[in-house]
Amino acid sequence: MAIDKIGVVGAGTMGNGIAQALAVAGCDVVMMDVGEAQLKRGLDTISASLDRLIKKEKMSAEQKATAMAHISTAGAVAGLAECDLVIEAATENVDLKLRIFADLDKTLKPEAILASNTSSISITRLAAATQRPGQVIGMHFFNPVPLMALVELINGLQTSAGTYAAVEELAKSIGKTPIKVKNSPGFVVNRMLCPMINEAVFALGEGLATAAEIDEAMKLGCNHPIGPLALCDLIGLDVELAVMQVLYEGTKDPKYRPAPLLVEMLEAGYLGRKSGKGFFEYPAK
């Protein structure tokens, strides 16, 4: 099927990044969130991101205006009714995602495809919350979405070949490189990445080195462009914990147990960049 109009549920970091990538590629996008403040913040973030591209001479002011014109907003699921594809990019909470998928299923036209940007939750389980399980797929982008080339495309047990082909074609058309991934806790990248970050938190909690030293060690010793603790701050400590919990519960393997310090930092409200404090501090601009 042709995918001409795309909905994005969530105007946060991942949602607005996905909306930007689609709009820059010429897709018509409806970005939906439950509050006007969230939508305004999402649009402002996209505008500022495009301004940085203009400053770097990678985009013209006219191209920015064209991209922004491709984005409209909605404050409820009803505003997505005419979309051919909707990408859910809400908080990594399975009950919330199940509710969203059930609501979308009731609202969208019968042929529409439902995708989730989940970083760890079972696509098979999300598909089962709908009356169109064959049209449900995982479409996992990486942060920052406009810059990162990879998209994991995850087939649930029910996902049809036609659904996969349509979403794969879309991913390629917006300049992304899709890889086909089997439905499994954490998929491919987070199955490897999040335990590494978790182990860095264990090392910090055990006092092996400071946060800055741990990150410097991984940058200099393993040639990583960013240290694991700074990366965790960028991803969000809440997202890291959610992925570790899914891995642990899905495999029952103790190697995936979340680091106690990670749990305690969430209890303190330290979420990383989005809260201004995580393993490092981020003063308000």
Annotated active-site residue in 119, 122, 155, 183: 119
**Runs of H (alpha helix) within 56-184:** 61-69, 94-107, 123-127, 161-173
As given in the structure block, the two tokens for residue 140 are 């996992």
Annotated active-site residue in 88, 190, 198, 240: 190
Annotated active-site residue in 140, 183, 198, 240: 140
119 catalytic per annotation: yes
What are phi and psi for residue 270, nearest 5 degrees? -90, 105
Annotated active-site residue in 49, 88, 92, 152: 152
CA distance 267 to 261: 10
Residues 6+ apart with CB under 8 A from 107: 77, 78, 80, 81
Q: Are residues 32 and 75 in contact, defined by beta-carbon separation less than 8 angstroms?
A: yes
Helices H, strands E: what count in the chain?
Answer: 11, 8
Q: Distances from the Cα of 49 to the Cαs of 37, 65, 130, 137, 223, in angstroms?
A: 18, 13, 35, 28, 27
152 catalytic per annotation: yes
190 catalytic per annotation: yes
As given in the structure block, the two tokens for residue 90 are 């809400």
The residues annotated with a catalytic role in the active site are 119, 140, 152, 190
